[in-house]
Amino acid sequence: MSYNKPKVSVVIPTYNRVHVLSKSLNSVLNQTYQNFEVIIVDDGSSDNTEEVIRSFQKVDKRIVYIRHEKNKGQSAAENTGIKLAKGEYIAFQDSDDEWLPEKLEKQIRLIEKSHSDLGVVYTGFLRIIGNKKVYVPGPWVKQKDGYIYNELLKGNFVSTQTILARKECFQRLGLFDERLKALQDWDLVLRFSKFYKFAFIDEPLVLAPYMTDSLSVNYKVMLESYELIISKYYDDFYKDEFIASIHNLSLSSLHFKCGNFKMGIRYLMKAFKEDLKYMEYHLCKALLYKLTIKFQRDLKNDSNYNSIFL
């Protein structure tokens, strides 16, 4: 099967994930919608990723393989794929995640019948932690369709591997910020949602297992990326007292986890002293965090798991 002008370009960045890559790639190749190319960007892997992908290429000519000689990070790998993309639309797949068969078909059907101001179609996904499954986005997200920038300012609920975006969004607003080692998907959808509508398919069309080498357990990387995003959108984050209170508390938590106790106390004081009207919110969040920690400790072999729910 061959397409000279694929409608969709699927970008898969990967780094030493050969043990899960085949399953992830097969979930793309087995989509009910088939007019796509797959661009696999090997970000300097030291395992036999290239050998495995070459075997797939012998069977399916839609697969493009490119290798970075040195590891540059996920954002750089994704940007390499975007620059090579021939499709009108771009989708992303993580090398350890799995798409359900109708994901692309449902997204294409929706975006093709919509006005050009619809830039992104995204879906729900299941985050799999041990034998537990958490559906994202959860009920705490009030607005999931349309111009959702203000909702995304509270925290990200649009994961990269769930989106189908018009290529023009990247051409107009730029690629992933390669300075970010985490939270790069949040930065991207914040930029896009300022100018384009989003449409949500309320189905878990992506399965996202938690991996123990996830960047989410690296508090220092998370804090550095969080602070960079805060600096990029500072005026919008802090023009609303409630949104400001969310980030003050999150920054406090990250500083404490990194051992920066003075900064942790400073942001904690800002969250509680300057934003007293949201005391009830903060107390509820603290309780939720405590319950989450207990839940995490019950997960076999996942004692280091961390997730920041904004």
pLDDT in tens, 58-110: 999 999 999 999 999 999 999 999 999 999 999 999 998 999 999 999 999 99
Q: Are residues 170 and 290 in the same domain?
A: no
DSSP alpha helix (H) spans, the chain? 18-29, 49-57, 74-84, 103-112, 149-152, 167-173, 184-193, 219-232, 234-238, 241-257, 261-269, 279-297
A 10 A CB-CB count for 218 gives 16
Rounded CA separation 267/208 (Å): 32
Q: Are residues 242 and 110 in the same domain?
A: no
Q: Which of 129, 132, 97 is nearest to 210 (CA)?
A: 129
In a domain, 80, yes or no: yes
- 304: pLDDT confidence band, cut at 50, 70 and 90? very low
What pLDDT, on a 0 to 100 scale, did the predictor assign at position 3? 52
Per cent of the chain over pLDDT 90 is 71
What pLDDT, on a 0 to 100 scale, did the predictor assign at position 53? 96
User: In terms of residue numbers, what domain contains 63?
Assistant: 8-209
In a domain, 26, yes or no: yes
What pLDDT, on a 0 to 100 scale, did the predictor assign at position 284? 54
The residue among 209, 237, 258 that closes a domain is 209
The residue among 174, 209, 244 that closes a domain is 209
Q: Are residues 155 and 90 in the same domain?
A: yes
Average model confidence (pLDDT) across the chain: 87
Residue 215: DSSP 8-state: G
pLDDT tens column, 206-242: 999 876 555 445 899 999 999 999 999 999 999 988 8
Question: What angle, rounded to 10 degrees, do the helices at 241-257 and 261-269 form?
Answer: 160
Rounded CA separation 191/305 (Å): 29
In a domain, 15, yes or no: yes
What pLDDT, on a 0 to 100 scale, did the predictor assign at position 218? 86
Q: Are residues 185 and 273 in the same domain?
A: no
What pLDDT, on a 0 to 100 scale, did the predictor assign at position 59? 96
Domain count, the chain: 2
Q: Are residues 74 and 183 in the same domain?
A: yes
In a domain, 308, yes or no: no
Q: Are residues 98 and 14 in the same domain?
A: yes
In a domain, 130, yes or no: yes
- 279: pLDDT confidence band, cut at 50, 70 and 90? low
In a domain, 304, yes or no: no
What pLDDT, on a 0 to 100 scale, did the predictor assign at position 274? 54
The DSSP element (H or E) to which 98 belongs, if any, is: strand 98-99
Backbone angles phi, psi at 66, to 5 degrees: -135, 145
Residue 101: DSSP 8-state: T
Sort 77 into a burial class: Cβ within 10 Å, 0-12 / 13-18 / 19+. Answer: buried
**Over residues 191-206, mean pLDDT:** 98
In a domain, 55, yes or no: yes
Rounded CA separation 277/266 (Å): 18
The residue among 209, 244, 273 that closes a domain is 209
Give the max Cα distance, the chain.
Answer: 63
Q: Are residues 17 and 164 in the same domain?
A: yes
What pLDDT, on a 0 to 100 scale, did the predictor assign at position 234? 96
Q: Are 52 and 80 in contact (CB under 8 A)?
A: no
pLDDT over threshold 90, residue 23: yes
**Over residues 1-15, mean pLDDT:** 85
The dihedral formed by the CA atoms of 158, 204, 121 and 101, expressed in degrees to the nearest 10: 130
What pLDDT, on a 0 to 100 scale, did the predictor assign at position 271? 78
**Over residues 173-177, mean pLDDT:** 97
What pLDDT, on a 0 to 100 scale, did the predictor assign at position 213? 53
Q: Are residues 155 and 223 in the same domain?
A: no
CATH number, residue 166: 3.90.550.10
What pLDDT, on a 0 to 100 scale, did the predictor assign at position 99? 98
**Over residues 104-132, mean pLDDT:** 94
